[in-house]
Amino acid sequence: MPFLIENDYSPVYELYISLHAFIARRRHALLDLGKDWAVRVRHGLNKDFASRLARIKPESRACVIVPSLVWKTPPAYRQDIGAYLNWLASLPANDTFSLFQTSARIEVLNKCSDLQKARDQAVEVLNLWYEQYYRAVESDLAPKLAEKAELQKIAAKDANPEDFIEQLTFGLRMQPIAATQTVVLIPQYHFSPWDVYDLTRDSLILYYPANIDTVEPGKPSLALLRLTRALSDENRLRILRFLSEGQRSFSEVVRFSGLAKSTVHHHLVALRASGLVRILVADGNPGNPDRFTLRPGVTEYVSEQLSGFLNE
């Protein structure tokens, strides 16, 4: 069955995603913003709040950072962060339960035994995060993300759904499944170059890298930097050649390379971020990649990125 594409935008999404990027300490080195961004943000936070965020365990994180709730939020509360947080805080217990049941990740429902408590904690943390960090960057980011969402909404009208999703996510190839699946596409900045996803009961919500950074004249783009870094390693080049011969499972890549699974995973992550590798997803869940292969047009893409910089 085909995918139903929905493009969405609300400033509240980025509030959640920015907090997710900061709390996910193991990912800092892999983000375009880098470790320096996390250090600067931490220094700008109240010490008690910074300590509180550091104590949020991975298993509790899913109960606090639930951006998919915004998808089912009434329109009147979606376009202003303060209005959204006040609305969420005022929801009766039954409505809170219904909201989480219809729009939270499936694993969130398994981890969060007390949804009312999870809601209260999330509202408190998000309010503090907004006051101490996100408010300062919102006026710059919000218009750019809104414009990106509108442009992609127009582009999606005449696009093949699978091609469109792959283009926005730098290589995530969703293959049709038995039931029609709604895929909600939302631009995000803080977690770039990665996409973030929420698999709910009736939708796949993908927060794709918006690529809204302004490139200074004479400096390479982030896309070109990712590309050159990915190609600077011999093992990655060998893996690319192996993937150019056809679709491969993760186990096949491990056997071919002779490297540890964790090392292969690291290399595939770098190649994926550079836009060189396609990940085939067969069951509608991006967390379960089925096969890896070289993306079509890779040599042309490399040439375009380099030529664009040299000839600007």
Q: What is the pLDDT of residues 96-118, one digit of tens each?
A: 888 888 887 777 777 777 888 88
The amino acid at residue 111 is: K
Q: How confident is the model at residue 214 (pLDDT cuts 50, 70, 90)?
A: confident
Q: pLDDT exceeding 90 applies to what percent of the chain? A: 59
pLDDT at 217: 81
Least confident among 13-22, 25-34, 78-87, 277-286: 277-286
Domains, in order of start, for the chain: 3-209 (no CATH), 222-310 (1.10.10.10)
Residue 59 has pLDDT above 70, yes or no: no
Task: Tell me the average pLDDT of the chain.
Answer: 90
pLDDT at 281: 84
Distance CA 168, CA 188 (A): 11
Q: pLDDT exceeding 70 applies to what percent of the chain? A: 96
Least confident among 108-117, 135-144, 246-255: 108-117
Residue 1 has pLDDT above 60, yes or no: no
Residue 16 has pLDDT above 60, yes or no: yes
Q: How confident is the model at residue 177 (pLDDT cuts 50, 70, 90)?
A: low
Q: What is the pLDDT of residues 232-242, one digit of tens each?
A: 999 999 999 99
The three-class DSSP label of residue 281 is strand
Residue 284 has pLDDT above 70, yes or no: no
Q: Say which residue, 285 or 78, is predicted with more confidence.
A: 78
Helix (H) or strand (E) holding 126, with range, is helix 115-129
The three-state DSSP-derived secondary structure of 188-243 is ECCCCCCCEEEECCCEEEEEEECCCCCCCCCCCCHHHHHHHHHCCCHHHHHHHHHH
Identify the sign of the CA torsion 146, 147, 152, 157: positive
The three-class DSSP label of residue 57 is coil
Q: How confident is the model at residue 48 (pLDDT cuts 50, 70, 90)?
A: very high
Distance CA 37, CA 168 (A): 24
Residue 282 has pLDDT above 90, yes or no: no
C-beta of residue 95 within 8 angstroms of C-beta of residue 57: no
Select from 266, 208, 226 the least CA-distant residue to 17.
Answer: 208
Q: Give me Rg for the CA atoms of the chain.
A: 20
Distance CA 57, CA 55 (A): 6
Residue 311 has pLDDT above 60, yes or no: yes
Residue partners of 13: CB distance under 8 A and separation at least 6: 67, 70, 186, 188, 207
C-beta of residue 113 within 8 angstroms of C-beta of residue 100: no
Looking up tokens 């038995």 gives 178
Residues 169-178 have a mean pLDDT of 80
Q: Other CB atoms closer than 10 Å to residue 58's CB: what's the count?
A: 9
